[in-house]
Structure 1
Amino acid sequence: MAGRNNGDTVRTPSVLEVPRDRFTRRRPVTLEELAGPAHGTVGLSLHLAWSGLTRFDLDQPRPRMSCYRIVLTEGQRDNLIHYLNRDLLTSMWPVLRTLVSRDLREV
């Protein structure tokens, strides 16, 4: 994504900035937008869970953590809003933050 710099020149982001830009564009504006389920089984589509399990029991800690890591890493804005629950995300964040990339964590 090109951006303006000093009003005159167009700057192309560096290789290190591309993932951060991608995560920033898909981030919901507020945590209140995250209205996903807090309990039960969630089935992720193949564009999210393309390399393994697609169904996750949110009432079990490990599957819940895996589901959230996948959605955060692979999902678009609508996926984050649909699958993630604000309260679950904030309660899991101390551990979950260690399972995602630095760029995603900082955004």
Structure 2
Amino acid sequence: MSDARIDGTRYSKPAVVPDDLRLLTGPTAGIVHLPVHLDWSGCAIYDLDRPGRIVDLYRAVINEAASPADLHTYLDASTLKRLWSDIWLPVGIRRAWESRFPELSCLASA
């Protein structure tokens, strides 16, 4: 797990990044209910068969993950790669992921 600070301050939330994308084996279809620590908006139900909602789920999980287990549980490596350029992420989080997985930065610029 990366402990890269998002904005460089000691008080910022660290970006959680998996050690290997192959560990991301989460669901790719159906309804997913995120726990409160990943989505406290009150609308934590995601229909992965709806394109906009799956992007929202990936954004929420990547931004709010407390540990790599959150990433492993809710993200899928192939889906992540397919959606990467469409997911809005803070610069620091995107940088942490693309630093660990350079193939993602290639997808973002494609």
TM bucket normalised to smaller: 0.7 to 0.9
1:22 aligns with 2:14: yes
How far apart are the structure 2 equivalents of 1:37 and 1:73?
Answer: 18
> Matched residue of 1:56: which SS?
strand
TM-score (norm 1): 0.76
Correspondent of 2:81 among 78, 87, 90: 90
Amino acid at match of 1:92: L
Q: Which structure 1 residue ranges, 4+ long, deviate > 6 Å from structure 2?
A: none
How far apart are the structure 2 equivalents of 1:74 and 1:91?
Answer: 20
Task: State the aligned residue count.
Answer: 89
TM-score (norm 2): 0.74
Deviation digits for residues 26-56 of structure 1 (CA, Å, limit 9, x no counterpart):
2111100101011111100111110231110
> Matched residue of 2:14: which SS?
helix
Is 2:32–2:47's contact at 8 Å kept on the other side of the alignment?
A: yes
1:34 aligns with 2:27: no
Which residues of structure 2 form unaligned runs of 5+? 97-110
1:15 Cα deviation from its structure 2 partner: 8.7
How far apart are the structure 2 equivalents of 1:15 and 1:95?
Answer: 20
Is 2:38–2:61's contact at 8 Å kept on the other side of the alignment?
A: yes
